[in-house]
Structure 1
């Protein structure tokens, strides 16, 4: 299957600037860029799909460039509903360094910073050399601008489109870059760059967008209980990533396989058939988690995530390290305790039981586990000495109620 046909099959093509682009993509040899602003110090799953498109194109014979916007990051791409908060130059520089290293480590792309060619451009030159090529009516017609007009949009945000177009023109002239790839929300900025190259340089450039990766309700994919799923394992552990993918929506998991993995058409079709006939086996979810985690962090990280998940499901967590416990129960209710407590008093203290009578019933019924071990001794003492590295004790009552004691 040719690269353009594969991108279409995977649902990765939304808007295309020219019908000529299909042939050019299939023939290889284009230099293209994909951009992101350094608003954070790590990429997240929302970026991952577009970065994989870049890798797909590279394997088809094209040359990728990653632009991290040290200049545009100081301005802020207009949001549909509000102005982005400004971030400091120091924060932008720090984030740029982090994203550059991450992108090079994971994908091996060339990374450029638009601050390098934007910092010396003065305001008069900006207006004379670039502003004159932009028609206000054209800029006002862009979706994100139109949606903000009633509530107001600042000149700073309004100028973002020109800055991104300037980036495309600079890369066209200095890197022979003729293609920009981005999410569908960047279509107006892409076409602005194509027009600037045509009017100012007399060149022909191209662009295409990909659909945003979303959940079934239309919200952006990549959030778990309000937290982004980061590619940096220090921000999102392989275990957390595994849980995120293994619990992905059944109705969307095949789409996610197409967007986020290099599994072949045949492999994905086979997984889709299994998903339809035996959804309880969750083979598609397992394949999704395995593909993403091993790509980012390796097989060992995936195996550890699976083992931790099995331990949590079985309740047998006694062999975990404290660091693994900290990851496994991140976000679980925790209570600080500074003294040793009898098991009954402890259950009351952490609100796992409302009274000694109820606590006694839980213990006698065998529904209380301390660090993965069932406790039926009413005289058992919960102490720092028996905790994970003398730092934490995990109490499980029943199948789902967990509380972490932090010993102080």
Structure 2
């Protein structure tokens, strides 16, 4: 029998994160969003709750949960705010997960305790100004100096989340480290600790959305790090990252569902309270149908990421299903934010309103961690086309 209901432990997690989001995030996030400040206090509280360690085993300092538990937490956070949700998502899937999956025992011992407790954050430097969807076209280079036993890194990265906070401890950098026998570039990943000479973090971007999250351009000018900072196998950096990215798409789908459901929450509440022509606007069938369609999109998108996560945890090939989940959920978030703004009218166009923030935050979900066009390519390839 197929059962999409959550067990007691996951329901308890959902309830606790929902309460935290409503009581601790909602009252403060508008000011952080408007002032473009990073919510350190919120992140600290999430660390105490164990959210950064959710999908990691206890022996590594985690909470002993799985990736689906992380997705449940992301959905609940995003129902209130996406900046906080993406901070957690990137910290886990792009920051700590590569260290956990591909790091040496020494690398794990050094970096994971602080990352899994939320005391530190990490970024993943893949995207460049001229290399987004064409991730294999990166130009950042790392040369191994045999005399000193150090990697020398030159290049720059763009749009890197969690890369410039006061608690950022490292950035993992994808770089070309040589040439393969077939003439293609050898791509590897290298850990660069924050504060390394030559590693410069540019000022915070001025963004349309996710205004309370941390995003920077990074520059590497003859940055030297020890040879043992190589993460995983030399020349396997891109293959390693593709696995991380597939998992991350499920997490972004969960975040997108949270935003889509948050639009439903806000619209139902507003439709009951807002009176026009002598009655609540929720009494009007036109408004009811708008909100019904919003709930439909959120519900179906949720089932999509549940399915992709279940396949991943079962050890099945989940790439196509992660792409389906991410594509559908990001579409749902975008459409629901538009509908919610319509329901709220002028109030929905104000930055101080939750749906105003939802509207600004939704678009990046169709771009980040693989554009909608890339997801369609992956789905088509999964069908043998």
Give the structure-2-normalised TM-score.
Answer: 0.27
Q: Normalization by structure 1: what TM-score? A: 0.25
- Which one has a bigger Cα radius of gyration? 1
